[in-house]
Amino acid sequence: MYQLTQIHPQKRAFITGAASGLGKAFCCELAKDGWTIGMADINTKELTLAADEIEKIGGRTLCYPLDVSDRHQYKQVAEDFLAKAGGIDLLFNNAGVGDGGGFEDYSLENYEWMVGINQMGVVYGCHHFIPAMKKQKSGHILNTASAAAIGCAPTMGAYNMTKAAVVAISETLYGELMDHNISVSCIQPTYFKTNVVQYARGGELIKKATQMFIDKSGLEADTVAQEILTRAGKKELYIILPKDARKMWFFKRLAPTWFRKKVKEQFMYAMRKAIRKM
C-alpha cells in the first residue's frame, strides 16, 4: 500500500493523459490500492480500453474525454468529477505533448498548441480543483514537468519553455498552499518508455531522435510511476529522476556555462546519429 493511500483514505484521484504512458501507469498503481480514478484523455478509444484494464485491477473509474487546453470543457469535467467522487485527494496534471524544431522555424501556431496543452492544461487543472482542496483542507497536486526544464536542449524551445513554466507554477503553489494542508510535487523525469511524441508536429528527425533517447533509457513507465508515488508520499516538491536527471540538476547549478556546452555536445551527437538512421 502506498503512503498516499494512508494519507488520503477516501482515495479519489483525477489524472489527465490517463490512457497511456505515465498517466496509465499512475492509474494502474492506484487501482491496486482501490482508488476511485477520474481518467481523462483526448484519445477516447484508448481511454475506454485503459479504463477496462484499471477496473480489472481493482480501481473504480470515471472516464472523461478531455482536451486539457479547452478551459470550458475542463471546467465541466472537473465539476462532474467532484460531484460524483465527493471531492479530490490527488490531482495529476500529467497530459502533455513532446515536439521540437529550430526556434524560428517552429511555427507560432505550434507554440500556441504546445503552450495550450503543456502549460495551460496544468493551469486549468489547478484552477478548477484547488478550491475543492481548500474547502476540504487536504489534497496533493502532482504536476508533470520534465528534465527538459533543466537541460533546455537546442531545438526544443517550445517544450523546454512549457516544462519550465510547470516547475514555476509548482513552486508558486507550494508556497501558496502549504498553509491549507495541500501538498505539491513537481515531476521532472528524463526519457522513459512513453508515447510523448505521438502528436509531434516538428518532423521525422525530431521523432527519430526522441525515440532513440526513449529506447536507450531502458526505463518503463510503471517503474517511474512507482518511484514518483513513493516520493510523493513523503511530500517531496522536486521529484527528479532517475539518477542521471539528478546529476543534470546538480551540474547546472554547480557549473552552468560548462553544463550548457555539454548539453549542446550531446544534442549534436544525437542529431548525427538520428540522421544516419533515417
Q: Which CATH number covers residue 38?
A: 3.40.50.720
In the three-class reduction of DSSP (H, G, I as helix; E, B as strand; rest coil), residue 138 is classed as coil
In the three-class reduction of DSSP (H, G, I as helix; E, B as strand; rest coil), residue 195 is classed as coil
User: Is the confidence at residue 210, as pLDDT, over 70?
Assistant: no
pLDDT score of 24: 97
The whole-number average pLDDT for the span 138-158 is: 95
Q: Look up residue 73 and give its three cell numbers.
A: 470543457
Could you give the C-alpha distances from 57 to 103, 151, 162, 165, 224, in angstroms and in order? 44, 37, 34, 35, 19
Could you give the C-alpha distances from 237 to 53, 93, 98, 167, in angstroms and in order? 30, 14, 23, 10
The whole-number average pLDDT for the span 159-176 is: 98
The answer for residues whose C-beta is within 8 angstroms of residue 37's C-beta and 6 or more apart is 13, 14, 15, 18, 27, 30, 31, 54, 59, 60, 61, 62
pLDDT score of 276: 72
The whole-number average pLDDT for the span 75-103 is: 96
pLDDT score of 203: 54
pTM here is 0.91
Average pLDDT, the chain: 92
Number of domains, the chain? 1
Range of the domain at 59: 3-277
The whole-number average pLDDT for the span 202-230 is: 72
User: Is the confidence at residue 212, as pLDDT, over 90?
Assistant: no
User: Is the confidence at residue 61, as pLDDT, over 70?
Assistant: yes
